[in-house]
Amino acid sequence: MRYPFDRLIRADAVVVGSGIGGLTAALAMAPRRVLVITKGDPGGGSTPWAQGGIAAAVAADDSPAEHAADTVSVGGGLNDPKAVKVLTSAAPERVAALEAIGVHFDADVEGHLLLGREGGHHRRRVLHSGGDATGAEMMRALVRAAAGADHVETLPFAFAADLVTDGGRVAGVTARTDEGEKVLALAPAVVLATGGIGRLYANTTNPPEVTGDGLAMAARAGARLADLEFVQFHPTALASGRDPMALLTEALRGEGAVLVDDDGRRFMVEVHPDAELAPRDVVARAIWARLQAGGRVFLDATAAVGASFPERFPTVFSLCLEDGIDPQTQPVPVAPAAHYHMGGVATDLEGRTSLPGLWAVGEVSCTGVHGANRLASNSLLEATVFGHRAGQSVRAAAAPAVEATAAFAAADPGPAPGDVSGPVADLRRTMWDQVGLVRNGGGLTSALEHLDELALLLPFGASEARNMVDAGRLIARAALARPESRGAHYRSDFPAPDPAWAAREPVGA
């Protein structure tokens, strides 16, 4: 019998994605044999790009309960309180676990951790590394730990195309390597850790590989999804024409940087009592309104950070210099950009999805911790807390080994994609214009019609582009189905929250 794949790999678990969520889960599964399939090299994804840091109540004047209160206060009433409690209570021990694998957090000469503050946090509780290179430091340590772990094998430069199922259970994935090899990986546990959906938008801070693959795969397999309409737009990306846009971390505003208009006037003081440190959706829409009116907006850190820029924010400093701006002495032009997806594949507190055999962790998942809006620096935290719990859950699960039966004979990841840059650019523009930070019913309906047309243009094998269209349609449909504004979801035709939409179904239910 001829199979449509070139190689069959069997493992106890397959993890798709090698960011903080995927590698944390894989490490926690020992001694189970884990195959990590990842699109690029194992250090890719959004994780190494994370700047500001990871939130944890480690200061003497702070507590997990206060961290939880701040998390809920920006979440528009939709946070799952049980998930928030798990997140904030486990934060200090997960920070210690990261230190144990070699993550170095910035500290003063006496060894006291240096804690930053960001929007929505009422305490200094953001740990950072290398100033604003927190994600790169975490990724370095995680990749090294995974490389040294006997139970973890990595298949890099391999695109996971689809989940395969057997008798109602998820039983593996199909994948295609960059060399064109077709792989069928069978395992009784599959963990999606594919990150978010930033690349669906014309303006984004996310790397190109973040294309909503896990969300689309889970949807095709029939997994329960949640909160898809809630996409976070970061207020301050560097408006210099890059794609992706460079992020100017919120920690800059935490250190006192201010937002000014063309006349050098601080406008956030009139918009919200917390001014520049108001929740992200509030700041992003205030900037958006000024840009739509034809003005420009700048982040001015000249007084608050000034000469300490190269040391405190080296990543942002060099990105600005590359674009000819010296942020020590010049205000930096900014614009909002798609940054983070609060919604995703619904999971319980152990990362289990509604499908037997399938877990989801990190940004692709929806544990319910963020509700309608994510508190800054809570996403690395969510990925490490729930990634670890999911890994432990997979380790403990007594699932039968998957036999390579005829059920998988048709598992084909498809041929290598041709050039689909035209439809993809069209999709990204449509999402930005009509499913972006200000939406309305007419725009969402027309976006859905256009995405349907784009789907017809994609050839067989264009799996990534198809995932982008599928994920875009899911987000647009969810946005259309919520006739109110809440958190990051803003409808100009329904600009107020509607109490009828204030409650959430528990995500793991």
Ligand X SMILES: Cc1cc2nc3c(=O)[nH]c(=O)nc-3n(C[C@H](O)[C@H](O)[C@H](O)COP(=O)(O)OP(=O)(O)OC[C@H]3O[C@@H](n4cnc5c(N)ncnc54)[C@H](O)[C@@H]3O)c2cc1C
- Give catalytic residues, as residue numbers: 280
Binds ligand X by CB under 6 A, chosen from 14, 37, 200, 238: 37
Instruction: Give the interface segment with ligand X, choosing from 13-21, 26-34, 323-331, 396-404 (CB under 6 A).
Output: 13-21
The reply to whether 363 sits near ligand X by the rule CB under 6 A is yes
The least distance separating ligand X from the CB of residue 493, rounded to whole angstroms, comes to 30
Q: What sign results for the dihedral spanned by CA atoms 249, 250, 251, 255?
A: positive
For residues 110-139, which are near ligand X according to CB under 6 A? 134-135
The reply to whether 47 sits near ligand X by the rule CB under 6 A is yes
Please list, in sequence order, all residues whose beta carbon lies within 8 angstroms of the beta carbon of residue 413, skipping any fewer than 6 positions away: 5, 159, 161, 162, 174, 175, 176, 182, 183, 463
Whole-angstrom distance between the N-terminal and C-terminal Cα of the chain? 42
Please list, in sequence order, all residues whose beta carbon lies within 8 angstroms of the beta carbon of residue 138, skipping any fewer than 6 positions away: 20, 47, 48, 50, 54, 98, 103, 129, 380
The reply to whether 160 sits near ligand X by the rule CB under 6 A is yes
Would you give the distance in Å from CA 307 to the centre of its chain?
Answer: 32
The least distance separating ligand X from the CB of residue 467, rounded to whole angstroms, comes to 7
3 state SS of 148: coil
Binds ligand X by CB under 6 A, chosen from 87, 127, 337, 380: 380
**By rule CB under 6 A, what count of residues binds ligand X?**
42
Strand bridging mode 258-261 / 189-192: unpaired
Three-state SS string over 446-475 comes to HHHHHHHHHHHHCCCCCHHHHHHHHHHHHH
The reply to whether 470 sits near ligand X by the rule CB under 6 A is no
The reply to whether 71 sits near ligand X by the rule CB under 6 A is no
The reply to whether 315 sits near ligand X by the rule CB under 6 A is no
Binds ligand X by CB under 6 A, chosen from 27, 34, 54, 475: 54
Binds ligand X by CB under 6 A, chosen from 88, 315, 377, 434: 377
Q: Which is nearer to ligand X, 49 or 298 (CB)?
A: 49
The reply to whether 195 sits near ligand X by the rule CB under 6 A is yes
Buried b / exposed e across 311-338, counting CB within 10 Å, b at 16+?
Answer: ebbebbbebbeeeebebbeebbbbbbbb
The reply to whether 231 sits near ligand X by the rule CB under 6 A is no
The least distance separating ligand X from the CB of residue 500, rounded to whole angstroms, comes to 30
The reply to whether 20 sits near ligand X by the rule CB under 6 A is yes
Query: 408 φ, ψ to 5°?
Result: -100, 5
The reply to whether 357 sits near ligand X by the rule CB under 6 A is no
Q: What sign results for the dihedral spanned by CA atoms 86, 87, 89, 91?
A: positive
Residues near ligand X, by CB under 6 A? 16-22, 37-40, 44-47, 49-54, 134-135, 159-160, 193-195, 205-206, 209-210, 213, 247, 340, 362-363, 377-380, 383
